[in-house]
Chains A and B, each alone.
Chain A
């Protein structure tokens, strides 16, 4: 794997059992990601975007194949080490129900930093900084149910970035947002990618997301059918 390569998935398969037969959610997928990429995985529902994202995020395990992230064979890691890898290296933005509902925006962002063992003042300063970066200054103490869907997604982005991960994975981040908020969120992530050099991999079939991408990877029936630099 070359120095600028961040992720390499080789021959990855994932099967789900359906009755007597196995259904391939991922069918011998090869996929690469370079540092600083802003890649959108597109495709219809059921095409395998989320499944591939889950494999790369170490939230699920492929049945076949290998996966290297930042030079590490992550499939060889134990469950505890995978959790630690996620904590140290990967940031997540999910489609919905993204935040811990009993924590404020600030506490949600600081949660991951606390898991890393960071001191209270430092983590709260960082949380405030990133909430300010995503345009939520003044809303730090609000709980998720006191924020709009767009604001909640911004908190999730702030949380994903606050720990300075090598890779940010976002699964349908605009799915529950209106077009204006969706575009604003994608612009924010693209801006952070440009300024901070973080690598983004976004699963979405939203045209707004695809318009923001540097690279578009299209999936169908568990296969990558095209990959285009935009």
Chain B
């Protein structure tokens, strides 16, 4: 029976080409806009996640137990050999590096500023983060250059220092003593991310270990995965291995990128809510466009529904018939709109949508001003399912009305 319902639906819609055409056009424009908006949202979110992870955070970090909460240098890892060994043969890992992270004070030529000192392994760091790409002036830290430092460009401005100038960095050692060291500026970094440009000072890890008296110890093992989808597997795998060596619960914490920065988590949640809002708008657009058309169609055909009922078409069959007609209508507009929206998303996904005139302020939230809409399978499925749900909802009332008609009374209608 489904085929006859669909055939009847299609032919009834084609009986009024103008009315159907206008509804289909309205639907198509709405669905196209929402498909593009959804792809923009997914692209923006993906871009933010990638920027967030690759700027410096990594997909996964391993710390000494409690370090992320306390940020105290005293909570450092004395020995990461078990972690390194576990990572060596683990799948889906692109690279990893060690860091020392400590808050401190920078001083130069009478100016002082708060600073986030990051001791890095210069070669491994290039494989894990994009900090290397952000060097705007000067050069990246070289092996053997113990006193080199790279500063965020805003931080350098505050300290009034440039390439080759001296900077004194001060931080508390694990013992609680204030330790200071002199470094020379080798390069300036500009990432667009406030935390990096305003606070970051990169120094060689060996110098940081010596300066702060950490021996071979580090605060972070930063891991870059081959994809976001691999993160959970890596974390579970790593926890399992460390647990089996009775190390995890006592010595280490293994954190996903979302757990490291609450803002990233909040943005992910917000993006999820935004997605639901888009879907709600899809349903409302479909309802508004289709309900009126279907009601007009239903009232136009009261006699016909009466005839069908008289011939033995059951209430459920009449109900299904009207819902099918609604689905046919929405399928026409929905598919057309989806194709248009998908085409626009793919085009801008390839060439980018430059919002730099409007969106530079977003860079502190790890957002690039050039947006690349991303048409994901989930995004497409969500839009299409929402459109069909809207269609079913829009069809319910006319379908209910049609199925409840008294055949004799309906056939008296002119």
Contacts A100-B8, A114-B1 given; does A83 touch B314 at CB 8 Å: yes
Contacts A59-B408, A102-B12 given; does A83 touch B307 at CB 8 Å: no
Among A64-113, those with CB < 8 Å from B are 79-80, 83-84, 86-88, 90, 92, 94, 97-103, 111-112
A59 near B304 with CB under 8 A, answer: no
Residues of A within 8 A of B78 (CB): none
B313 near A115 with CB under 8 A, answer: yes
Cβ-based interface call for B110 (8 A):
no
B8 near A92 with CB under 8 A, answer: no
On chain B, the number of residues with a Cβ less than 8 Å from chain A's Cβ atoms is 24
A102 near B311 with CB under 8 A, answer: no
Residues of B within 8 A of A178 (CB): none
Residues of B within 8 A of A99 (CB): 307
Residues of B within 8 A of A84 (CB): 312, 314
On chain A, the number of residues with a Cβ less than 8 Å from chain B's Cβ atoms is 26
B8 near A103 with CB under 8 A, answer: yes
Residues of B within 8 A of A86 (CB): 310-312
Cβ-based interface call for A193 (8 A):
no
Cβ-based interface call for A133 (8 A):
no
Residues of B within 8 A of A92 (CB): 310-311
A208 to B308, CA, bound (A): 29
Residues of A within 8 A of B317 (CB): 115
A115 near B312 with CB under 8 A, answer: yes
A100 to B304, CA, bound (A): 6
Residues of B within 8 A of A57 (CB): 310
A162 to chain B, nearest CB (A): 11
A173 to B315, CA, bound (A): 27
B410 to chain A, nearest CB (A): 9
- The chain A residue with its CB closest to the CB of B303 is A97
A151 to B12, CA, bound (A): 22
Cβ-based interface call for B411 (8 A):
yes
Count chain A CB atoms within 10 A of each CB in B15, B303, B309, B407 and give the residue with the most: B407
A189 to B11, CA, bound (A): 31
Contacts A100-B307, A101-B304 given; does A94 touch B15 at CB 8 Å: no
Cβ-based interface call for A60 (8 A):
yes
A84 to B313, CA, bound (A): 8
B3 to chain A, nearest CB (A): 9
A59 to B157, CA, bound (A): 89
A93 to chain B, nearest CB (A): 11
- The chain A residue with its CB closest to the CB of B314 is A83
Contacts A114-B1, A114-B4 given; does A102 touch B15 at CB 8 Å: yes
A13 to chain B, nearest CB (A): 16
Residues of B within 8 A of A87 (CB): 311-313
A80 to B316, CA, bound (A): 9
A152 to chain B, nearest CB (A): 12
A210 to chain B, nearest CB (A): 24
Cβ-based interface call for B356 (8 A):
no
Q: Mark B313-333, 1 if CB is under 8 A from A, else 0.
A: 111110000000000000000
Q: Mark B323-359, 1 if CB is under 8 A from A, else 0.
A: 0000000000000000000000000000000000000
Residues of A within 8 A of B315 (CB): 79-80, 83
A98 to B407, CA, bound (A): 13
- The chain A residue with its CB closest to the CB of B4 is A114
B interface residue numbers (CB < 8 A to A): 1, 4, 8, 11-12, 15, 303-304, 307-317, 406-409, 411
List 5 additional A-B contacts (Cβ < 8 Å) besides A59-B406, A115-B312. A60-B406, A94-B307, A100-B304, A100-B308, A101-B15
**Chain A to chain B contacts (Cβ below 8 Å), 16 pairs:** A57-B310, A59-B408, A59-B411, A80-B314, A86-B311, A87-B311, A88-B312, A92-B310, A97-B303, A98-B307, A99-B307, A100-B308, A101-B15, A102-B8, A102-B12, A114-B1
